[in-house]
Amino acid sequence: MMTQTQAAAPATKYGYDLIVIGGGSGGLACAKEAVVNGAKVACLDFVKPTPHGSKWGLGGTCVNVGCVPKKLMHQASLLGEALYDAQAYGWEIPDAENIKPDWGKLVQSVQNHIKSINWVTRVDLRDKKIEYLNGLGSFRDSHTILVKMKNDTERTVSARNIVIAVGGRPRYPDIPGAELGITSDDLFSLDKPPGRTLIVDIGLECAGFLRGLGYDATVMVRSIILRGFDQQMANMVADSMVEHGVKFIHKAIPKSVEKTLHNTYLVKYINIETEEEGCDEYDTVMWAIGRKGLVEDLNLTSIGIELKNDKILVNDAEQTNVSNVYAVGDITYGRPELTPVAIHAGRLLARRLFGNSTQLMDYCNVATTVFSPLEYACVGMSEEDAAQEYGEDNIEVFHGFYKPTEFFIPQKSVRYCYVKAVAERSGDQRVLGLHYLGPVAGEVIQGFAAAVKCGLTMKILMNTVGIHPTTAEEFTRLNITKRSGADPTPASCCS
């Protein structure tokens, strides 16, 4: 249980109104909003290189090794698929079967875009008169930070309020040869094609775009696919990936990695249920076994900050148990680890600290997307969570398969194109969760997320006229329930 302690304020004047530790999306959003509201702000950011030497500039995980490069490489893989679709639409593409991506050019293009964002971010901080300190910060007391600068000098800075927004980094398994594997921190700047790749454990998106780019991709899964998501949808995502050529090794964990004489990596693994052992060789091994909060360098014990599982405990106002120290983003315990969540939480915190606002961050019904080859997006509750909270007899699940118009001519598989609405069974049937598997999933679900926040009901949804022909309209066509046992497969797209 988090207990509040009042930080003792030193008598001397602070150098800043706010110090933000961490130059990622949440920290930058908080710093910039604080300046808008009249605060004097400093922002610290420092990136430790990975074991393979990868490092990057200002902007945090999302910009450098997360959302941005992932979406760009996902788009590259979709364009490759579109080349084949185009032929069915009458485009003449000479020697189409021999078209392949140039990994080096793709990486260079992605890195050029990232560096442009790094530069724009630096300029933005300068223009807003936020002091940027390229150094590693640690607490000396609740108002004072010791900064170890990139040039090996040290500097001490102080502020009335401090926000921790350092985020996290990928975990490595505790097995022999773990250092031979890379993580998502390295993949997007990899200087050679990844070749035959093993991804351990939750890197579905990376496996998807690597397969789309023509590389052999295998995912080793310890337990369930997409933990925390609706499991019907999660399994359909995995099945659709198999249809796209991604391989899965289920119920297995790696035991060791060894480099071979052929410069490949021999991975030995074991099935956790049967204890049967196996092995295979790969050109690249990528760890995707979760992320850890970057708390070890902050010296949080010196001021008594309470932690849980390498994350910082905060209250509804993003406040730690030390009254002038706050935290936002992936470093906080129990919050969704999503860039827009960190940004919004950071802005609202700055407005409360410096703009006389009382608005708190609402963490309910946050939409998200998995950029798998056939994308999955959702907002609200999974079917399992709704049944657990409300009881199976008190919820109604509407569902249906559909056929995207653009899939018809190239005869693409529609086997896993599916939508589902989880709703209360009584009254106007308030929507508890929406789930969509299909093309451009994030674009589809974003508008519906606003509707769910506004109290969307099935009565309203069924009375909404869809835009035809689109995949988003499939939500407005939902009328078959799982309880009815009726076939959710459509007979026609236009009636």
Predicted confidence (pLDDT) per residue in 120-148, tens digit:
999 999 999 999 999 999 999 999 999 99
Q: Please, which pLDDT band fits residue 494 given cuts at 50, 70 and 90?
A: confident
Tens digits of residue pLDDT in 226-255: 999 999 999 999 999 999 999 999 999 999
Q: Please, which pLDDT band fits residue 2 given cuts at 50, 70 and 90?
A: low
Q: How far is CA 494 from CA 306, 437, 471, 490, 491, in A?
A: 57, 20, 12, 10, 9
Q: Are residues 248 and 297 in the same domain?
A: no
92-115 mean pLDDT = 95
Provide the CATH number for the domain around residue 448: 3.30.390.30
Domain that holds residue 209: 173-288
Which residue, chain included where needed, has tokens 């329930």? 481
Residue 216 annotated as binding?
A: no
Q: Are residues 184 and 251 in the same domain?
A: yes
pLDDT at 56: 96
- E strand or H helix at 208, and its extent? helix 204-212
| pLDDT of residue 3 exceeding 60 | no
Q: What percentage of the chain exceeds 90 in pLDDT?
A: 94
Q: Are residues 425 and 320 in the same domain?
A: no
d(CA 116, CA 93): 33
Domain count across the chain: 3
d(CA 429, CA 460): 9
Q: Are residues 387 and 424 in the same domain?
A: yes
**Would residue 486 count as lying in a domain?**
no
- E strand or H helix at 200, and its extent? strand 197-201
CA neighbor of 185 nearest in space, from 65, 48, 292, 51: 65
Q: Please, which pLDDT band fits residue 9 given cuts at 50, 70 and 90?
A: very low
Tens digits of residue pLDDT in 151-180: 899 999 999 999 999 999 999 999 999 999
Q: Are residues 240 and 267 in the same domain?
A: yes
Q: Are residues 260 and 350 in the same domain?
A: no
- Point out the catalytic residue in the list 52, 399, 435, 468: 468
Residue 293 annotated as binding?
A: no
What radius of gyration, in Å, describes the C-alpha atoms of the chain?
Answer: 24
Of 355, 379, 397, the residue that ends a domain is 355
Q: Please, which pLDDT band fits residue 32 given cuts at 50, 70 and 90?
A: very high
**Would residue 56 count as lying in a domain?**
yes
Q: Is 341 exposed, middle or buried (0-12, 13-18, 19+ CB in 10 A)?
A: buried
| pLDDT of residue 261 exceeding 60 | yes
CA neighbor of 167 nearest in space, from 287, 304, 346: 346
| pLDDT of residue 260 exceeding 70 | yes
Lowest mean pLDDT among 95-99, 201-205, 271-275, 484-488: 95-99
**Would residue 488 count as lying in a domain?**
no
Tens digits of residue pLDDT in 407-442: 999 999 999 999 999 999 999 999 999 999 999 999
| pLDDT of residue 490 exceeding 90 | no
Look up residue 152 and give its amino acid.
D
291-307 mean pLDDT = 97
- Helices 204-212 and 67-88 pack at an angle, to 10 degrees, of 40
Q: Please, which pLDDT band fits residue 495 given cuts at 50, 70 and 90?
A: low
**Would residue 2 count as lying in a domain?**
no
Q: Are residues 177 and 214 in the same domain?
A: yes
Token pair belonging to 329:
């983003």
Of 235, 266, 288, the residue that ends a domain is 288
**Would residue 347 count as lying in a domain?**
yes
Token pair belonging to 77:
């893989």
Provide the CATH number for the domain around residue 241: 3.50.50.60
Q: Are residues 40 and 182 in the same domain?
A: no
**Would residue 89 count as lying in a domain?**
no
What does pLDDT average to over the chain? 95
Q: Are residues 122 and 33 in the same domain?
A: yes
Q: What percentage of the chain exceeds 70 in pLDDT?
A: 97
Asked whether 130 and 40 are in contact (CB, 8 A), the reply is: no
Residue 53 annotated as binding?
A: no
CB count within 10 Å of CB 481 equals 17
Side-by-side strand order, sheet with 431-437: 368-370, 376-380, 431-437, 418-424, 395-401
Residue 433, CB half-sphere, CA atoms under 13 Å: how many? 24
Residue 428 annotated as binding?
A: no
Q: Are residues 53 and 177 in the same domain?
A: no
Q: Are residues 229 and 347 in the same domain?
A: no
Q: How far is CA 148 from CA 23, 41, 246, 312, 326, in A?
A: 15, 18, 44, 22, 21
* Angle, vertex CA 46, rays to CA 69 and CA 203, nearest 5: 35
Q: Is 435 among the catalytic positions?
A: no
**Would residue 85 count as lying in a domain?**
no
Q: Are residues 210 and 312 in the same domain?
A: no
**Would residue 145 count as lying in a domain?**
yes
pLDDT at 97: 84
Of 253, 288, 323, the residue that ends a domain is 288
